[in-house]
Structure 1
Amino acid sequence: MIKNFFLIVISFVLIFFSSCSEDLDNSNLQPNGNAPEISPTTRVVSEEQGLIFAEKMYAAIQATETPQTRSTASTQSCDIETIKNEDNVPVMYIVNFGDNQGYMLLSADKESQSSLIAFNTTGKLDLDEMNPNSPMRSMIDEQIEKITKDIDKTINVDDENYNMWESLGNESDGEEIEIELVVNNSASTTKGKHKGSWGLTPIGPSSTIQYCVWGQANGYNADAKRPNIDLAGCPAVAVGLLCKTWKYPSDRGFDYAAMPNSLAPTTDSNPISRMFRDIADVIPGYSWGTAASGGSGASQAGILTGLKTLGYNSAKSTSYDFNTVYSNIEDWYPVLLGGFTNTGGHIWIADGYSETKWKVTRKFLGITVKTWYEYSDHIYMNWGWYGSSNGWIDQESWPSYNNSRIMWYDLFPR
């Protein structure tokens, strides 16, 4: 399995992982609204500050990429959307760069432990186009609730992150903030998002997980129980991406070479839809359904059994643990992640790790006042949602679906 190194980076229950059919409350999602004026003593990041931070971070990321991978988007070509809570207070910002040339999802809490919730150097986030049942929408919904609680807490004016945000946009007062992305682990490990760098090696995602934009319908379900009616189901998509990554199993007739990164809409049987059906058939109790009925899915234990049947004999599943996930990714083993509610959930594939580390320099009248480092740990996730919102997701922020985070790991042929 070939990797591309990219240097920026409860128990068991019989609950079904469906195609994320639970409806989310869309009333909280209010893009492009005019944010209220921000008081200097508030924890709320202003829209202007969010945009300045995003532009500085994007420029820093661009500066670390090679000419072959660097986007041609100008940092001036960007749009910002404000996500507000029910009280009309900004809680997050979406910043899109150029024409599908990257996005950032930012917390609007100046003291957030995850300022950079998600990002990618390709694609975009669009609330109007985002499926209300998608995992990214679920994550946004959860973050609205979390950040709303946090921004009402006491302000710590000595907090370094708070001071960084306070200085952004105040250049006219003689203050200036410089942000420099650090692409190695040699920098001083002063206080940061997790009280210092963990010193973990950044690892890029496999090309399959990075570039495949598969989904559950539009031809991917041409061999479903009711062809082109039932959805393929997120377990079949996630496990299918795993099989495509390893090109394993090799004895079930899966034609990996004939599986494109993106399938043109069709109703005809094809190598991907046939693989999805075979995967579903080896998962005990696979439940078939339409999008309207809740979709197709399987249980945590059923998915584990299916993985072993396909030859991933070392596969295990338990509650999410970052150290275990990183250990697997370090060994070039993708992992499956998921969460559930009483009515459904979602499972997807993840591979690639980036400790996003940036050096913050605060200046006054051109003189350096203070320098420190901020850190955030991101895992590359392919949601199995036609490529929508794929990217680097803060490892503490991905959707829990009712505070239940599950992983399937040690997924290698044996």
Structure 2
Amino acid sequence: MTHHTTDHTHDMNATSWVESANGHPDFPVQNLPFGVFSTDGEDARGGVAIGDYVLDLRNVLDGDLIEDDRDLLHYASFATLNDFFAMPGGPSELRAKLFAALTDESYKAAMEVCLVPMADVQMHLPFQIHDYTDFYTGIHHAVNIGSLFRPDNPLLPNYKHVPIGYHGRSSSICVSGTDVKRPTGQQKPAEEGGTPEFGPSKRLDYELEMAIWVGQGNDLGDPIPVGEAEQHIAGISILNDWSARDIQAWEYQPLGPFLAKNFASTVSPWVVTMDALAPFRTAQPARAEGDPEPLPYLQHDMSHAAFGIQMEVLITTPKMREAGAEPHRLSHGPMTAMYWTAAQLIAHHSVGGCNMQPGDLLGTGTLTSGEDGGEGSLIELTEGGKKTISLPNGEERKFLEDGDEVIMRAYAEKDGYARIGMGECRATIVG
């Protein structure tokens, strides 16, 4: 497998003439994630996060400020990044050129006019998303959920052999900051054989996930080998795949999730590239003793197959915001909670001949750490609604109420390298 390697763009001592980038917890010059933004009165276009600013790539292109890369800048400045990330090597090359310009004082006078304060922009989905697949790679989450329904046999026999996933609804994926309307649907009858209830979900939940974006696609009938799969990953964002647990409990058999999942999924707006993440690659955790080996088409080098990314989920309620209280952290954990690697997900998804396309979104599934405080959903934190969560101001929750805002964050840090982050994935529940 080809790994993205560390180079001068990861030098922790590198600084930018964009002063807010130096020491920034998410967007130092060592990161430079791509996204799509707009400002008042202007249309959406590509940009790069640098400190407290967005570098407007259209203005960089129009000003002819970076030599020899007009084609790359042209595609990177589009209102969607599909064509840009479909270019083999293109994002890596442009990131390196932007790093050089943003660390060279001689570019400052010409380029600082291309900086837009992040507080003044509206972010958009980075890709036109044709397809969305949500996997179930968090084994601790799978055990916790399975234990609620099958205490003696929480994992089904196929779990450790095949990456489990379902095709979700791409049209209802929303960018961070978009309100989520509480879904309505059928719910399980109160008595066996009774008439199902119908109304707004009473057990609305979040799911702490990561988003894996497809860059280069493949032709129909031409599977992606696991050893080449990472070349098809554009980058990573944060994903909250909302779930209406009461609707889900009634509808999921025999074909799986439907209305309980199709009302909204929220994704963070910045695509953190595989190049930026190179220093933070880590070994995939070893499988438990007795677990089966993956079938040959899923076997690959596991020494750098995982991502050393830390995740957390926080909540604010209307009362907390009125009082000026800080968001309360509900749980936190690592992205290494994945039982299957990102490469294995892509290899499995395409092994039957499925043609992946630029901008396709793969969700990891809920990532629960396996330790107390690492539960990736409320249904786990409340043990299926049996327990109550107490917030610092005395409020209590089992599931989300109208006005609650869920905030997810993720970042990578390692000795000898600058910390980089994914920004935030946030949304407020409305009735």
Fold shared by both chains (TM-score > 0.5): no
Structure-1-length-normalised TM-score: 0.27
Structure-2-length-normalised TM-score: 0.26
